[in-house]
Structure 1
Amino acid sequence: MYTEHSLDAVPSGSKTQARAAAVLQLPALPDDEQITENVPFDEIVVGQSASRSRELTMDDVRLFAAVSANRNPVHLDARFAAGSGHGKVIAHGMWSGALVSGLIGSRLPGPGTVYLSQDLHFLHTISVGDRITATVTVLEKRLADKVVVLECGCVNQDGVLVASGVAEVVAPGAKVRAEAVELPEVQLIGHHQYDALLKKCETLAPVPTAVAYPCNEPSLRAAVDAAQAGLIEPVLVGPARDIRAIAARHGLAIDGYRLIDVEYPKDAAETAARLARDGEVEALMKGSLHTDELMGAVVRKDNALRTAARISHVFVMHVPTYARTLLITDAAINISPSLEDKVHIVQNAIHLAQVLGVSKPNVAILSAVENVNPKIPSTLEAAVLCKMADRGQITGGVLDGPLAFDNAISVEAARTKGITSPVAGNADILLVPDMVAGNMLAKQLTFLANADAAGIVLGAKVPVILTSRADNLRSRLASCAIAALLANANRLLAQAARGL
C-alpha cells in the first residue's frame, strides 16, 4: 500500500471564505512511485486491487473549492459549519471521488486509462484530520471492449466506510513505464491574517475619524466601507456639493454622516487636524488630497498633534508566503532618516506591533549585507541601534542587524550564512535604510507576491490612515482596523493616566 505524505495545514481564519496563505508543494514520491507504470488489460486479474491513503487538510478543502468553484460554507467557514448538522467543517463529497480517480489514473489500471462511468455513494462525512484510504478492486473484465469494472471504496482511520461505488474504465492496451510527471507547485492566496485583524476590532466602538477631502470615488467609498464594517464613524471634510454628487453617482449612502463644508484640500486638511486637536475625532484619514497636504496640517505646531516621537509611517503587510504579519518602516514619510530618526521609527513600530498583539516583536534592521561594513552607513547604524536596545534606549522589542532581506525572513538563508539570531528568519518588523528602499520593498511584495498592505502614520496624538488609489478593499479596511486598535490603545492609556 502506498501512503502519500499529507500537506501541512495552515491555520484557518475566522471569517467566511477565509483562505490559507501558503505555497504548497506536493509531497515527494517514494522510491516505488518515481516511475509510473500501468497495468494493461491483458495483465489485469479479477480480484486485483490497489490502495492509497491521504490525510485531509484544510488546504485540501480550500484547493478543491477553488478548482470546483464550490463555495458552500459548510466546507469553508468554521462558524457556519458549527451551526450545521455536521458541527464542523467537512470535505466536499467529491474529494473522496478525486482520490479514487487519482488511484485509477495512476495505479490501477494506471496511465492510459479512460473513464466511462463512476458511481459513488457517500455514506459518512470526512473531516479535517481524517485519514482516508481509497481502494479499487477489479470485479470484472470485458474482453470485447477492454472494459474493466472496479469496486471503489474509501475508509477512514477507524475503518469506517465513508464512500463506495463502482467504476467502469477502458484499460490501456499497452504497457507504459516512464518517469512520473512532476506536478506543479500550488499557491493558495488568502487572507486569514486580515480576518484575524478585523476580528480584533469586533468588540470596539467605531472610531470617530475625520476624512480629509474625500473627493473621488475610491476615497469616499473607503470611508463608507469602513463605517459599514463598524470600524470608523466618519466625519467628511470637504466641499459638500462635490461629496454629495460623488456619493449619488456611485450609490454611496452618506446621509447619516457628519459633513463639514470646506472648499479646498489644504483647508480640509487643516479642519480635520483641528477636529483631532479638539478631541472631536480620534483618527484622521486621507482622502483624495496629497499626502503632504494632510501631513503638513498634522505637524503644524498650532494644531498641537505632535508628540515627543518623530512622525513615521508603517506598512502592515500580510504576505501569503510569510507566516507572520510583517511591518515595514519607514516607506512613506521619512526620506533619508538619521540615526536619531530611526530610534523613533523603530520605537513607533514596536508600539504598533504590540497593539497588534505581538508582545515582544523581532526587529530586523535591513541592509545589503549582514556584516558591519564602514563603507555602508546602514550597517553602522544597525550596529548602533542594536547596542542602544541592549542599553535600554529602545525598548519592547528584540533587535538584530545588519541583516540582508533574505536573512531577515528566511531561517534557511540565515542558517546557510551561519547567522544565529532569534530575529533572523522570524522578523516581525523590517527597518529599511531609507524611504526609497522601503517603498520599493512594500510595493514589490504587493504587486509580485500578492501581499495586502495597510498604511498607517504613527507618532502623532492620533493615528493617520493613509490609503492609496491602488489599494483594494481589504487593504483599506485593514488600515482602518489598525487605526481603530491604536485609537483604543490611546484611549486606555489616557484613562490609566487619569486613574480611571
Structure 2
Amino acid sequence: MTVAVSAPNTSQQGQRRHEKYDRLITTAQSLPKLKVAVAHPCDAASMGAVFEAVELGLIEPILVGPPDKIRAAAAALNRDMPPVRIVEATHSHAAADKAVELVKAGEAEALMKGSLHTDELMGAIVRREGGLRTARRISHCFVMDVPGHETALIITDAAVNIAPTLEDKVHIVQNAIDLARALRVDPVRVAILSAMETVNPKVPSTIEAAALCKMADRGQITGGILDGPLALDNAIDLGAAAIKKIQSPVAGQANVLVVPDLEAGNMLAKSLTFLADADAAGIVLGARVPVILTSRADSTITRLASCAVASLVADAQRRQLALPEI
C-alpha cells in the first residue's frame, strides 16, 4: 500500500465560490457531530483544521498525542484551546495506535490525520492484529469540486492502491459507490476509465472494465450504474459521447470515475487541481470508520469538506450494518 495525496492549488481559491462543498458542509451540519480521534495534532496546520471544524459544528474531536505539544500548536495559532478531550500519547506511532484503540472502544466514529506521516496512521489501521480492517480492500477517494462542472466528481483510486487487480477493483468500485450514496448522489453513475471506449485485448484496463460491468449486472457490485471502458472525455461530456455514438446511462454524465491505476488517477486529480483550479477533499474507505487525510497545504474549504464527507459516511454507517471484520 502507498498513499500519494497531493495538496490542492490555492492560488485562486479566494476568487470563486464552492457551491458543491458548501452543500456538503451544510448537510453535515444537520447531522450529529462526528466523534473524531485526531492522531498527533502537533502543528498549527492540523490544529487549525480541528478549530475550523469545531467552530462549524462538524466534529467533536479527541486529540491524541503529547499534551504539551498539542497545546503549543494551539498557542501558535494565538487561540485558546477549545474544551476538548486530550488523550496522552508519547509520540506519533503511539498516537496512531491510541486513535485506533479509541475507535475499537466505540469512543470515536472516524480518524483524522494530524502532523504524523500518513504511513504511520495507515499502518495502525491496516495491521491484522488490533487494526481496523474489514472484508473490504482499503481505498482512497477524492471528492473534487471542479469549476464549471455541475456536480462533484469522485475519483478513485488515486492514492492508495498502486496497481489494483480486478478483485481489488471490485472493492474500490463498491467503496466509491457507497461513498456517493452517503453523499446523497442519486443515481450513482460509475465510469470505468481507460484510454478508449472499446474492449481491446491488448489493453488490460478495457478487459477489466468490461468484467466489472458484467459483475455489476450479476449483482457482485451493487448500488450504482456501471459502464466501461470509457475514455475520460466521453465519460464526463455528453457532446463527446454523442460524437462517438455511445448510448449509455453513464456516458457523458458520470459522477464516479474509476481509474486503471494509481499513476493514472494521481495525474488526473493533479491535472484538475493545478490546471482547472479544482479542490480535492479526500477520504479513505474500507476500514471500520472513515479516515480523514488532510495536508498542511490544504485550503480551509478543502479541510472542512473532508470532515463533512467523513460525517456523511459515518452517518450512512450508523444507518446500516457495519462491514464484517477480518
Task: Normalising by structure 1, report the TM-score.
Answer: 0.60
Residue equivalent to 2:146? 319
1:203 aligned to 2:33?
no
Q: In the alignment, does 2:94 pair up with 1:277?
A: no
User: How many angstroms apart in 1 are the aligned matches of 2:148 and 2:92?
Assistant: 39
The residue matched to 1:372 in structure 2 has which SS?
A: coil
What is the deviation of 1:494? 4.9
Q: How far did residue 263 of structure 1 move?
A: 2.1
Could you tell me how far apart the structure 2 residues matched to 1:387 and 1:266 are?
Answer: 43
Is 1:433 the counterpart of 2:260 in the alignment? Answer: yes
Corresponding position of 1:301 = 128
Deviation at 1:359, TM superposition (A): 3.0
1:189 to partner: Cα distance: 3.5
Partner of 2:225: 398
Per the alignment, residue 388 of structure 1 pairs with 215
Q: Please report how far the alpha carbon of residue 304 of structure 1 lies from its aligned counterpart in structure 2 after TM superposition.
A: 4.5
Matched to 2:172, the amino acid is: I
1:214 aligns with 2:14: no
Once the two structures are superposed, residues 470-491 of structure 1 have per-residue CA deviations (whole angstroms, 9 ceiling, x without a partner) of: 2100010000001111111212
Superposed, 1:7-26 pairs within 5 Å as: none
- Cα distance in 1 for residues equivalent to 2:319 and 2:299: 31
The residue matched to 2:320 in structure 1 has which SS?
Answer: helix
Structure 1 SS opposite 2:81: coil
* Alignment partner of 1:442 out of 264, 269, 277: 269
Which whole-Å CA distance do the structure 2 matches of 1:239 and 1:304 have between them? Answer: 22
Distance 2:16 2:47 in 1: 28
2:278 counterpart residue number: 451
Which structure shows the bigger proportion of residues in helix conformation?
A: 2
- Does residue 357 (structure 1) correspond to residue 210 (structure 2)? The answer is no
Structure 2 distance, partners of 1:258, 1:465, is 19
Deviations 1:411-454 (A, max 9, x none): 11111122111111100100011111111211211121111211
Q: Give identity over the alignment, percent.
A: 61
Q: Find the counterpart in structure 1 of residue 290 from structure 2.
A: 463
Q: Contact 1:239 / 1:263 at 8 angstroms: preserved in 2?
A: yes
Q: Which amino acid aligns with 2:191?
A: A
The offset of 1:360, in angstroms, is: 2.8
60, 77, 87: which is aligned to 1:233?
Answer: 60
Letter in 2 for 1:225: E
Q: CA RMSD in A?
A: 1.5
Alignment-derived partner of residue 253 in structure 1: 80
> Matched residues in 2 for 1:472 and 1:208: separation?
22
Quick check: 1:415 aligned with 2:242? yes
244-253 or 406-415: bigger deviation: 244-253
Structure 2 CA distance, aligned partners of 1:356 and 1:255?
A: 29
2:122 counterpart SS class: helix
Q: What amino acid does structure 2 have at the position aligned with 1:244?
A: R
Match of 1:25 in 2: none
Q: CA deviation at 1:255?
A: 4.0
CA 1:479–1:240 in structure 2 vs 1: closer, same or farther (change >3 Å)? same
Q: Distance in 2 between matches of 1:252 and 1:285?
A: 21
Structure 2 counterpart SS, 1:450: coil
Q: CA deviation at 1:301?
A: 2.3
Q: Which has the larger radius of gyration?
A: 1
Structure 1: which amino acid aligns with 2:223?
G
Partner of 2:3: none
Q: Which residue of 2 aligns with 1:492?
A: 319
Q: 1:345 matched to which residue of 2?
A: 172
Tell me if structure 1 keeps the 8 A contact 2:35–2:107. Answer: yes
Q: Is the 1:221–1:252 contact (alpha carbons within 8 Å) kept by the matching residues of 2?
A: no
- Report if the CA contact (8 A) 1:224-1:252 is conserved: no
Between the two proteins, the alignment pairs up a number of residues equal to 309
Q: Distance in 2 between matches of 1:484 and 1:426?
A: 26
Q: Is the 8 A contact 1:310 1:344 kept in 2?
A: yes
What SS does the corresponding residue of 2:86 show, helix, strand or coil?
strand
The 3-state SS of whatever aligns with 1:307 is: coil
Moved more, 438-447 or 333-342: 438-447
Distance 1:397 1:485 in 2: 18
Deviations 1:257-316 (A, max 9, x none): 111221221111111011111111000001111111111111122324211111111000
Task: Confirm or deny: 8 A CA contact 2:29 2:56 kept in the other structure.
Answer: no
For residue 80 of structure 1, what is the aligned residue in structure 2?
none
Code of the residue aligned with 1:289 in structure 2: it is L
Which deviates more from structure 2 when the two are superposed, residues 399-408 or residues 246-255? 246-255
CA contact (8 A) 1:331 1:438 kept: yes
Amino acid at match of 2:252: G
Residue 242 (structure 1) aligns with? 69
The structure whose RCO (Cα within 8 Å, separation 6+) is larger is: 2
Structure 1: how far apart are the matches of 2:187 and 2:204? Answer: 27
Whichever residue aligns with residue 351 of structure 1, its letter is: D
Amino acid in the other structure paired with 1:336: A
**Aligned letter for 1:388?**
M
Partner Cα separation in structure 2 for residue 439 and residue 396 of structure 1: 25
Alpha-carbon offset, residue 466 of structure 1: 0.7
Q: Which string of whole-angstrom CA distances, capped at 9 and with x for unpartnered residues, describes residues 36-88 of structure 1?
A: xxxxxxxxxxxxxxxxxxxxxxxxxxxxxx9xxxxxxxxxxxxxxxxxxxxxx
